[in-house]
Amino acid sequence: MSKKLRIGIIGTGGIARAHVSAYKKLPYVEIVGVADVIPDKASAFAVAEGLTEAASFDTHTELLGMELDGVSICTPNVSHHVTTVDALRAGKNVLLEKPMSVTLQEGIEMTQAAKESGKMLTLGFQPRYDPNMKLLQTIVQSGRLGNVFYVETGGGRRRGMPGGTFISKKLAGAGAMADIGCYSLDMALNTLGYPRPLTVSAFTSNHFGTNKLYHPEASKFEVEDFGVAMVRFENDLVLQFKISWAMHMDTLGATMFLGTDAGLKVTPAGSGNWSGVWDGAVGSITMFHDEFGGQTATPIPLVQHQLNLFDQKVHDFAEAVRDNKPAPIPGEQILIQQAIIDGVLRSAEARREVSIELPR
């Protein structure tokens, strides 16, 4: 492709600034349009970001009327479905910020729209671009652990509750599960090759978010700040999934892969109230195994890098559009984790185990 890629931005919140910054580093990309449902917000964003040649709109449908090669969708969760489906049906490739959608049915319709349009739907999970996440996948899929039968993932912030649109049921659809839980699920499921889930039994609560001692917007807090679930998969695999925005504890533990031949323990990097979950980097990897009749543990050296992971995901999307490559993180894959999150919320509300139904 000789001409520059024409990219649009839908939604001009904080995450949109990171998308613009990443696109600006690509000489073969130009941002030609910006849209936001709040009147005049798109134009103010364009000015602030130096997008002097970009058109501004108060609806995403107006933006989609432009000649575009792709769009970044950076809207609140509740509008992911409609903006994505509209963009795909308008013939635009889509880079969608996480989580995929609010409900499983929405996610199904989004992947169907991508298939029917022949356009790309890729999801923004930048931790995947950490070389150490790729190392985990290599280790597990090499067969070194044997048959992996149990996985534990998630994590918890001692205090790390967002506000605004994140705590509105109407705008976010879910809380910690969708915000940071999706990263934990992707970290484990991508490592395993995204197996097919069957059932989930879950519990959620929001004791901290609704308490004014811990959150300044307690009266507006409508989503979960804690959740735990047991998920059963095909091939007799079980996953324990736990997540927390706030708790009276320093950690909910490491991620673990238990296999018949060896086990793998993985800790997240970082420290402080907002760390301890998989929206960041890998802190350590240790393999537990038997050698010469004895038990031993082997630290796996981490790959040292200076990559900007957020930039990597935007670059990967743009290159896939430019070179007509498959979606880097395809919607069909993330639909599986969306089914799990949907099942978690249904199970917690029903207070019983529920089945997960995915299209074949």
Q: Which two tokens stand for residue 106?
A: 């929405």
Is residue 108's pLDDT more than 80?
yes
Q: Which two tokens stand for residue 220?
A: 């507006």
- Mean pLDDT, rounded, for 120-146: 96
Comparing 5-126+309-330 with 127-306+339-355, is the CATH topology the same?
A: no
Band of residue 359 on the pLDDT scale cut at 50, 70, 90 = confident
- Mean pLDDT, rounded, for 133-140: 96
Give me the residues paired with residue 232 across strands.
199, 238
The model's pLDDT over 282-335, given as tens digits with 9 standing for 90+, comes to 999 999 999 999 999 999 999 999 999 999 999 999 999 999 999 999 999 999
Q: Which fold has domain 127-306+339-355?
A: Dihydrodipicolinate Reductase; domain 2 (3.30.360)
- Mean pLDDT, rounded, for 332-345: 95
pTM, entire model: 0.94
The model's pLDDT over 19-72, given as tens digits with 9 standing for 90+, comes to 999 999 999 999 999 999 999 999 999 999 999 999 999 999 999 999 999 999
Band of residue 360 on the pLDDT scale cut at 50, 70, 90 = confident
The model's pLDDT over 169-182, given as tens digits with 9 standing for 90+, comes to 999 999 999 999 99
| Whether the Cβ atoms of residue 92 and residue 6 lie closer than 8 Å to each other | no
Q: Which two tokens stand for residue 355?
A: 């089945």
Does residue 272 come out as left (phi exceeding 0), alpha (psi in the -120 to 50 range) or beta? left
CA pair distance 331, 98, nearest whole angstrom: 11
Q: How far is CA 28 from CA 174, 189, 319, 329, in A?
A: 37, 33, 9, 21
Is residue 160's pLDDT more than 50?
yes
| CA 140 to the chain's CA centroid | 21
Q: How far is CA 277 from CA 101, 138, 241, 250, 335, in A?
A: 21, 21, 12, 12, 21
Three-class DSSP labels, 175-236: CHHHHHHHHHHHHHHHHHCCCCEEEEEEEEECCCCCCCCCCCCHHHCCCCCEEEEEEEEHHH
- Mean pLDDT for the chain overall: 96
The model's pLDDT over 199-211, given as tens digits with 9 standing for 90+, comes to 999 999 999 999 9
Which sequence spans correspond to the domains of the chain? Answer: 5-126+309-330, 127-306+339-355
The model's pLDDT over 258-291, given as tens digits with 9 standing for 90+, comes to 999 999 999 999 999 999 999 889 999 999 999 9
CA pair distance 187, 96, nearest whole angstrom: 18
Query: Which residue type sits at 360?
Result: R
Q: Which residues neighbour 30 within 8 Å (Cβ) at sequence distance 6 or greater? A: 4, 5, 6, 7, 53
Q: Which two tokens stand for residue 343?
A: 């099942």
pLDDT at 280: 86
pLDDT at 2: 60
Is residue 159's pLDDT more than 60?
yes
Cα dihedral angle (88, 18, 124, 4), rounded to 10 degrees?
Answer: 50
pLDDT at 1: 46
Q: Which two tokens stand for residue 348?
A: 């917690």
Count Cα atoms within 13 angstroms, Cβ side, for 66. 23
Question: Tell me: domain 5-126+309-330, CATH 3.30.465.10, correct?
Answer: no
Is residue 154's pLDDT more than 70?
yes
